[in-house]
Structure 1
Amino acid sequence: MVRKRGTSMWMNPGGKPEPGESAAECAAREVAEELGLSLDVEGLVRLGEFSAPAANEKGFTVVADVFDWPTAIPADVQPTAEIEETRWATPDDLGDDTLAPLFVDHIAPALAGRGYLGLE
């Protein structure tokens, strides 16, 4: 999870695609920009397209193509660009009202369906 500077909500890394960029290419670029991690686009697994209230923009809806990276990544990911902090989410965090609705309502259940988060 990431928290952007000047905000209180935690969300997944991400952003808007550049012209001509696929959703997977956008995801890999945003992870590189925000977390300094290099992901191979071919290794990304699409979880789906989801919409939810925008975490930091009241009255707006975010529509996101969400991907899983099913390979281990470093536990101590360092924030870059506009990211202030990073953290890992656990099942105990799902009641935290600072987690983005997109994560709580859609991403966590999709990950649970893949056997992650220790949820069923």
Structure 2
Amino acid sequence: MERRQARLRARAFIQQEPGGPFLLVRHRHPERGEDFWCLPGGWVEPGESLADAVRREVAEETGLTVEPEGLVSLMEFRSGPAAGSVEGVFRARVTGGRLSLGVDPEVETPHLADVRWWRWEEAAGQDLRPRELIRRLAAGQEPVPYTEVP
């Protein structure tokens, strides 16, 4: 059996207040025919903690400074572009900065298309990833602590 090391990603659920607007980043990948909204975050760099990755990635993508407040969900991806990765999602609060669309310095082709605050009623009609986790967190419900994504 071949053994491979899992790649780690870290994302943040950032909500202005309980039940209030939450932050999403729009990703466009025309080469894969994808256009979706997701939580800000990305790959963990070697030697970096998950919490530090959340701080760095959110700043890169949104211009905001955040403080992670706790891990709320862990997802293991089994197929697709994220196959073999494990993603930790943290609740985080804004501590500074100004909202602005950033860039992903790890990729050559720009894919970040927008960043904005959403209410669930507005976001529900969009392609959201991971949809159920975002819905539960936005509603103030307990998230599923572990999910295996086929």
Which TM class, normalised by the smaller chain length?
Answer: 0.5 to 0.7
Q: Residues 4-57 of structure 1, C-alpha deviation per residue, up to 9 Å, x if partnerless? A: 3545101111111000111111111100111111224xx532212134688xx5
1:46 aligns with 2:75: no
Over the residues paired in the alignment, what is the CA RMSD in angstroms? 3.1
More helix per residue: 1 or 2?
A: 1
Percent of residue pairs bearing the same amino acid type: 26
Counterpart amino acid of residue 66 in structure 2: L
Between 1:25-34 and 1:85-94, the stretch displaced more is: 85-94
In structure 1, the gaps of 5 or more residues are 115-120
Equivalent residue pairs, number: 107
In structure 2, the gaps of 5 or more residues are 1-23, 105-111, 143-150
1:67 aligns with 2:95: no
Structure-to-structure mapping, 1:1-120, within 5 angstroms: 1-6=24-29, 7-40=34-67, 43-51=68-76, 60=83, 63-71=86-94, 77-82=99-104, 83-93=112-122, 95-100=124-129, 102=130, 104-111=131-138, 112-113=140-141
Quick one: distance in 2 between partners of 1:29 and 1:46?
16
TM-score (norm 2): 0.56
Query: Residue 39 of structure 1: SS of its match in structure 2?
Result: strand
Query: Residue 117 of structure 2: SS of its match in structure 1?
Result: coil
Query: Residue 15 of structure 1: SS of its match in structure 2?
Result: strand
Quick one: distance in 2 between partners of 1:85 and 1:99?
13
TM-score (norm 1): 0.67
Moved over 6 A (4+): none
Between structure 1 and structure 2, the one with the greater Rg is 2
Quick one: distance in 2 between partners of 1:23 and 1:49?
12
More strand per residue: 1 or 2?
A: 2
Quick one: distance in 2 between partners of 1:17 and 1:71?
20
